Structure 1
Amino acid sequence: MNFKRRMRYMYIKMKRMKDNPRRLARGLALGVFLNFLPTFGTGFFIALIVARFVRANVVLACTASLATKWCIPILYAINLKVGQTVLGMPSETLTTLWTKVAELDLSGLLSLGKPFILGSVLNSLVVSYLSYFVFISIFMVLKRMPLKN
């Protein structure tokens, strides 16, 4: 399937979703939110439960949670950098982090816990908030556009 055809297919699938645009956007934002947090492989199940609780689209919450799993190492590195910046800590280089892991320097790794958690909370709040408003705009526009054959 070529790119143009794939985009059209995705457009039609999104257009045919019968749920409220707010619920759809809430589901996507929830899935994105959970990927910044260290859920240790349970993000899909957390998305499933929380989506029902906050009245979000369960399918989109789980899909967004699974679709962005590939970028978790990048997100976790960003979490650490943001946390270190907010706390005013010196930024660890990737080589230094790898050395701590290789040498099993637990005290050095544990010192990164606070900036990592702070960064993951801040990043998840900011990115999910932004993604909610971006996707609610997209879904509202899609609902108004006629579906062409």
Structure 2
Amino acid sequence: MKLKRRTRYYLLRFSRLKASPHQVALGFTLGFIPNWFPTFGLGPILSVGIAKLAKVNVFAAVMGGIIGTPLWPVLFLLNYRVGGLFQDNPSKVEEIVEVEYIEAVNDTVGSIQSGSLQFLTGAFINILLSSMVLYLLVFMIFKIYRRKQGDRSSFPC
């Protein structure tokens, strides 16, 4: 019950931001970007920094950072998979349960030859694609719900 109420509260607060749909969508999108990298819980903090540098809505960036945090293992896997499509060597990771996170982070940070190029290639491609999709999605949703701002039942929670 508390989770549903809290979710509704933040969705309503999100819909009533006093920023343009562009500012909110860009803030959310930029806030999601750190989740593609192993930040070990610092993603929302990095999201705030990115939002302030880009001068976009900070609350939207924090929302993007928080929403992406539990998705990190899946995003990590996608980075390797997509990177493997553009590299000669096959992906080192086939399933989420195969991911040795500490070893993978050490490989990623350690050297270009150990798989980090594959990871970084996948991450940058995923960032480009997800940013376009997230921006358009949040922009359209925010614009639609902004029209219904007076209607309190506009969010389905």
TM-score normalized with structure 2 length:
0.74
Which residue of structure 2 lines up, in the alignment, with residue 117 of structure 1?
Answer: 120
Q: Does structure 1 conserve the Cα–Cα contact (< 8 Å) formed by 2:14 and 2:60?
A: no
Q: Does structure 2 conserve the Cα–Cα contact (< 8 Å) formed by 1:79 and 1:123?
A: yes
Which residue of structure 2 lines up, in the alignment, with residue 50 of structure 1?
Answer: 50
Which residue of structure 1 lines up, in the alignment, with residue 148 of structure 2?
Answer: 145
The CA deviation at 1:78 is 0.7
Percentage of pairs with the same residue:
28
What SS is found at the alignment partner of 1:87? coil
Work out which structure has the larger RCO, using CA pairs closer than 8 Å and 6 or more positions apart in sequence: 1
Q: Does structure 2 conserve the Cα–Cα contact (< 8 Å) formed by 1:15 and 1:147?
A: no
1:25 maps to 2:25? yes
Distance in 2 (alpha carbons) for counterparts of 1:141 and 1:97: 40
Which residue of structure 1 lines up, in the alignment, with residue 69 of structure 2?
Answer: 69
* Change beyond 3 A, Cα 1:19–1:96: closer
Distance in 1 (alpha carbons) for counterparts of 2:3 and 2:98: 41
CA RMSD in angstroms, aligned pairs only: 3.2
What SS is found at the alignment partner of 1:89? coil
Task: Give the alignment partner of residue 130 of structure 2, picking from 115, 122, 127.
Answer: 127
Distance in 1 (alpha carbons) for counterparts of 2:107 and 2:10: 47
Specify every segment of 5 or more residues in structure 1 that has no aligned partner in the other structure, as ranges.
Answer: none
* Change beyond 3 A, Cα 1:8–1:123: same
TM-score normalized with structure 1 length:
0.78
What SS is found at the alignment partner of 1:118? helix
Superposition misfits of 4+ residues, deviation over 4 angstroms: 2-11, 94-98, 104-110
Specify every segment of 5 or more residues in structure 2 that has no aligned partner in the other structure, as ranges.
Answer: 153-157
Distance in 2 (alpha carbons) for counterparts of 1:21 and 1:105: 39
What is the aligned length?
145
Once the two structures are overlaid, the 10-residue window that deviates more, 8-17 or 58-67, is 8-17
